[in-house]
Structure 1
Amino acid sequence: MFQKKSIRILVTLILVFALIFLIYKTRFIFQPIGAYVAAIAVPIIGSGIIFYITNPIVNWLERRKVPRMIGTFIVFLLIVTAISVITIYIAPIVQKQFTNLIDNIPRMANNATRVIELWQDNQNIIPPQVESSINHMLDNLNVYAERLTSAVFDIIGQVFSFVFSFFLIPFFLFFMLKDGYKFIPFVTQFLSPGKANSFKTLATNINHTLSSFIQGQFIVSICVGVMLYIGYNIIQLDYSLSLALFGLVMNFIPFAGPFLSAIPAIIVGFLQEPILALWATVVMVVAQQIESNLISPNVMGRALSLHPLTVITLILAAGGIAGFIGLLFVIPAYAVVKTIIAHFYHEWQRKQPEEDPDLM
């Protein structure tokens, strides 16, 4: 029996690789499809994220006998209100802080110069290995600055590309909120009862995975942003709101996001007053400890069931392949793929003879 199953698995793998090879050889056929998908990817992804954040509100209103159409309009009204509040009250503060940051760069540079002079005056107490490392870092400071500037402009370019497609998001979001529940019945009407039940289960599992991640990350990121803002204000760090908002956005990147968000705060704190770099680090560590031990377990639980080593590996690979966008979407994409594979494996296992249910 083992021999028979091994041959069956081997034949399946050969067919899978043959299919991949054929797809690669005929990839020109799929280029128009790829161009079409790329053109609508931003509005679909953007509206999908907002859909999972706002759909619970529409469902809650629907359970209160509010028609889904009216609930959708209420959600749009809430979104417009939130955008208006951000534009009127938060955006001017962020703009002012950013302008002040640009204006205060000479003062920060003077502070950095004083620190370097102090270091030069006390070189005799610094171990040679540390001194060599510091000299190497200072010699390559321009290279690091150029790389950082290039990365910033790359992110800005991606943001502008997103903004260009932003105007399509409301249209996609409206129909997702209004008619999203019709998708599964529409597909299952073309399937046999057995396959229809299987598809409903798969769609429900994928929906649960995405909603758990997106809603959880949204709530956790808001909490982290608020904690960072409070902490930065307590230590009187300049540009606290801008740095807290940056931390909020970066927290959407699992595992690596908190560390990325701490870098600007530490740099600004060091240039403002060297001791503030230490306090900014303390604020970040405290916020992340509260988030990882209190907020995330209660908000997200173990819905995704991802091992930390898996998360780290995925982030490293996605960052090298797709950059910032890859960091944002690799975890939910992996969770969805994992859900699909697990579903089909369980379906396959269910159809096996009772005396031979295992894969190997």
Structure 2
Amino acid sequence: MFEKKGVRFLVTSILIFTLIYLIHKTRFIFEPVGAYLGAIAVPIIGAGVIFYITNPVVNWLEKKKVPRLIGTFIAFLLLVVVITLVVLFVAPIVQQQFANLYESIPKMVKSAEQLIEIWQDNQNIIPPQFEGTIQNIIDNLSTYAEAVTTGIIGVIGQIFSFVFAFFLIPFFLFFMLKDGHKFVPFISQFLSPAKASSFRQLAISINHTLASFIQGQFIVSVCVGVMLYIGYIIIGLEYSLSLALFAVVMNFIPFLGPFLSAIPAVIVGLFQDPLIGVWAAVVMFIAQQIESNFISPNVMGRALSLHPLTVITLILAAGGIAGFLGLLFIIPAYAVIKTIIGHFYQQWKKKQPEEDPDLI
């Protein structure tokens, strides 16, 4: 029995790797398809994210006997109102705060150099190894600051590139909201009853996975941003709105996002006043404790069932391969792939004899 399973598993593995090898050798055939998918990826993904945020509104209106087309227009109207409010009241403040922060970076670098030099001058005995390291930090502090600034600008550039495709997003979003519920029945009509049932189950599972992550992460991120903004205002931290919005975006990165969003707030606070820097860290700690113990368990629960080590590994790999956008999308992408593989594995197990249900 073991040999039979082992041979079957070996043959399956060989066939999979052969298929991968053939795809690699004939990848020129798929390059036009890849270019096409790359061109439409941003509006589709953007529309998909907004779809999962607005679709509950359309579904709720539909339950209240409002036609889906009218519900879609109402959802669009709400989006326009939100975007208009952001553009009129939030965007100018953020733009001004970011400009002020960018202009103050050279002053922060100079202050850091002075602090290091003062500390170095007041040390009587410094081991040569530490002395060389400190001098190297002083010599390259401006370079580090430039690298950090370039990285921030790069992230902002990616965000603007994403926004650049925004004019296509409303078209995709409109048809997703209006006709999205027709997709599964449309595909199912071409399948046999058994396969159609399996496809519907898979579609429901994927939809639940994506909705759990996007809707839950959106609510959690907004709640964290509001808490941080209130806390930053209370302690008198400069650039509070920009730093809170940065935390909202970074909080979409599971596990590491909260820590990444705390770094600029603490640094800005330390240069403004060391005590404010400490209070900024305290505010971030309190907000994350509230989020992890009260908000996330009630909003998201254990919907994705991902181990923290898996999340960290995925984020590190995605960040190195695809940058900031990879950090944002790797977790839902992995969750969807996991859902698909789990579904087909369960379907495969049902077809096996009762005495031989395992893969290996």
**TM-score higher than 0.5 here?**
yes
Matched residue type, 2:83: I
Q: Which residue of 1 aligns with 2:181?
A: 181
Secondary structure of 2:214's match?
Answer: helix
Q: Which whole-Å deviations, capped at 9, do the CAs of 1:37-83 have from their partners, x for residues lacking one?
A: 00000000000000001101100000000000000000000000001
Which residue is 2:290 aligned to?
A: 290
* Aligned position for 2:90: 90
**Residues 222 and 248 in structure 2, CA contact (< 8 A), matched pair in contact too:** yes
1:163-202 aligned at under 5 Å gives the runs 163-202=163-202
Which runs of no fewer than 5 residues in structure 2 stay unpaired?
none
Over 3 Å counting, the alpha-carbon distance change for 1:295 and 1:135 in structure 2 is farther
| C-alpha separation in 1, matches of 2:207 and 2:69 | 21
Classify the secondary structure of the residue corresponding to 1:254: coil
Q: What do you get for the CA RMSD once the two structures are aligned?
A: 1.8
* Counterpart Cα distance in 1 of 2:19 and 2:88: 55
Letter in 2 for 1:194: A
Q: CA deviation at 1:264?
A: 1.2
Q: What is the CA deviation profile of residues 158-215 of structure 1, one whole-angstrom value per residue up to 9, with x for unaligned ones?
A: 2232122110000000000000000000000000000000000001000000000000
Q: Secondary structure at the match of 1:123?
A: coil
The offset of 1:121, in angstroms, is 4.6
Give the counterpart letter for 2:258 in structure 1.
Answer: P
Equivalent residue number for residue 146 of structure 1: 146
Judged with a 3 Å threshold, the aligned counterparts in structure 2 of structure 1 residues 130 and 236 are, in CA distance, closer, same or farther, namely farther
Task: Report the TM-score when normalising by structure 2.
Answer: 0.95
Contact kept in structure 2, 1:111 and 1:272, CA below 8 Å: no
CA distance in 1, matches of 2:130, 2:255: 29
Partner amino acid, structure 1, of 2:10: L
Aligned-pair distance for 1:284?
Answer: 1.2
What residue is the counterpart of 1:257 in the other structure? 257
Match of 2:161 in 1: 161
Query: Distance between the aligned counterparts of 2:58 and 2:290, measured in 1?
Result: 31
2:202–2:343 CA contact under 8 A, matched in 1: yes
User: What is the identity percentage for the equivalent residue pairs of Structure 1 and Structure 2?
Assistant: 72
* Contact 1:123 1:131 survives alignment (8 Å): no
Tell me the distance in 2 between the aligned counterparts of 1:198 and 1:131: 66
Unaligned 5+ segments in structure 1 are none
TM-score between the two structures when normalised by the length of structure 1 = 0.95
Q: Distance in 1 between matches of 2:283 and 2:113?
A: 26
Displacement after TM superposition at 1:270 (Å): 1.5
Distance across 2 between alignment mates of 1:331 and 1:293: 21
Question: Secondary structure, in 3 states, of the residue corresponding to 1:331?
Answer: helix
Q: Quick one: distance in 2 between partners of 1:161 and 1:103?
A: 24
2:1 is the counterpart of 1:29: no
Per the alignment, residue 242 of structure 1 pairs with 242
Q: Does the Cα contact within 8 Å between 1:42 and 1:165 map onto a contact in 2?
A: yes
Contact 1:184 1:203 in 2 (8 A): yes
The residue that corresponds to 1:99 in the other structure is: 99
| Counterpart AA for 2:7 | I
Instruction: Give the C-alpha shift of residue 106 in structure 1.
Output: 6.0
